[in-house]
């Protein structure tokens, strides 16, 4: 499981997605609690079925390319096989067509999140005609749509998770620097800097994020986290102290509201 979590984090910006299925039973809340305890960062479903394929033994793994074609299956696919596929597949923003004039820009998407710089490289061909213009327009529209989606997600996060919203706007300002998306994100960060209520929520959100990061250091045994286990005792003490500080300093914040459920996922009670 840790290997899958690491792969998902490493390759997520390339469009790589893991979907896991469990067959152990249990309620949705129980599965969610175990998943958080194991730091799972991908979707987990109850059972699964692949048309034309028979699942024999666990774990079974199936690898699909960007077109949905099954390209490999095994009980233990190696990380190397997965990385090779991601390297050879088009980036999700460049998928759907082949490139002759802007192949370099399509490949750049696999190596960098500097979308503003890539848009700048495409800009000179947007007003032209022919193959170069068509490729530039296709890539530009997909990159811009992706940025607008991220902007909307950041906006929606403002009322519920100030830390996530601020982090998202900061990433957008950096990754889309020199483009309209980056300018919008930068402008919104300046507006939020003068919003006292948001800044208070941001402080609380940072504290909660630090608590979650600290909880991530807890060691699971047989899929369960025991706070009295030797390596976990110091971490548990730090988490408890930080949780009490958050509740004391920001008692009415959204972060404080979320605190109990977050801690329960890692085995803390009565804080």
- At 159-191, the pLDDT tens digits run 999 999 999 999 999 999 999 999 999 999 999
Residue 200 placed within a domain: no
Domain that holds residue 165: 103-194
Classify residue 96: in a domain, yes or no: no
The answer, yes or no, to whether residue 20 has pLDDT greater than 80, is no
Query: What are the tens digits of pLDDT across the range 214-247?
Result: 988 888 777 678 888 888 999 999 999 999 999 9
212, 247: one domain: yes
Assess if residue 201 is contained within a domain: no
Domain boundary among 45, 61, 88: 88
Mean predicted lDDT score pLDDT of the chain: 86
Q: What is the pLDDT of residue 216?
A: 84
Give the residue with greater pLDDT, 50 vs 259.
259
Percent share of the chain, pLDDT over 90:
53
**Predicted local distance difference test score (pLDDT) of residue 57:** 62
Domain presence at residue 199? no
Q: Give domain status of residue 95, yes or no.
A: no
Structurally, how many domains does the chain consist of? 3
Which of 59-73, 107-121, 192-206, 227-241 has the weakest average pLDDT? Answer: 59-73
Which of 88, 120, 135 finishes a domain? Answer: 88
Q: Mention every residue, 6+ apart, whose C-beta is less than 8 A from residue 130.
A: none
- CATH code for the domain of 83: 3.40.30.10
């Amino acid at each position: 499981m840790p290997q899958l979590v690491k792969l998902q984090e490493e390759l997520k910006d390339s469009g790589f997605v893991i979907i896991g299925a469990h067959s152990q039973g249990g309620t949705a809340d129980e599965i969610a609690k175990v998943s958080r305890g194991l730091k799972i960062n991908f979707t987990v479903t109850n059972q699964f079925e692949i048309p034309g394929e028979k699942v024999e033994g666990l774990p079974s793994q199936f690898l699909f390319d960007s077109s949905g074609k099954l390209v490999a299956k095994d009980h233990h696919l190696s990380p190397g096989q997965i990385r090779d596929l991601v390297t050879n597949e088009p980036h999700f923003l460049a998928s759907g067509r082949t490139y002759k004039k802007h192949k370099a820009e399509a490949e750049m998407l696999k190596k960098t999140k500097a979308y503003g710089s890539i848009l700048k490289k495409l800009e000179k061909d947007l007003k032209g005609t022919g193959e170069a213009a068509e490729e530039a327009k296709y890539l530009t529209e997909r990159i811009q749509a992706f940025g607008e989606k991220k902007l909307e997600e950041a906006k929606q996060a403002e009322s519920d998770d100030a830390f996530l919203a601020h982090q998202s706007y900061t990433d957008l300002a950096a990754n889309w620097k020199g483009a309209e998306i980056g300018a919008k994100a930068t402008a919104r960060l300046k507006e939020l800097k003068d919003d006292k209520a948001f800044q208070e929520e941001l402080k609380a959100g940072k504290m909660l994020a630090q608590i979650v990061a600290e909880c991530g250091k807890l060691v699971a045994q047989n899929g369960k986290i025991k706070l009295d286990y030797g390596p976990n005792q110091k971490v548990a003490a730090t988490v408890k102290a930080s949780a009490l500080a958050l509740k004391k300093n920001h008692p009415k914040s959204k972060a404080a509201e979320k605190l109990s459920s977050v801690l329960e996922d890692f085995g803390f009670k009565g804080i």
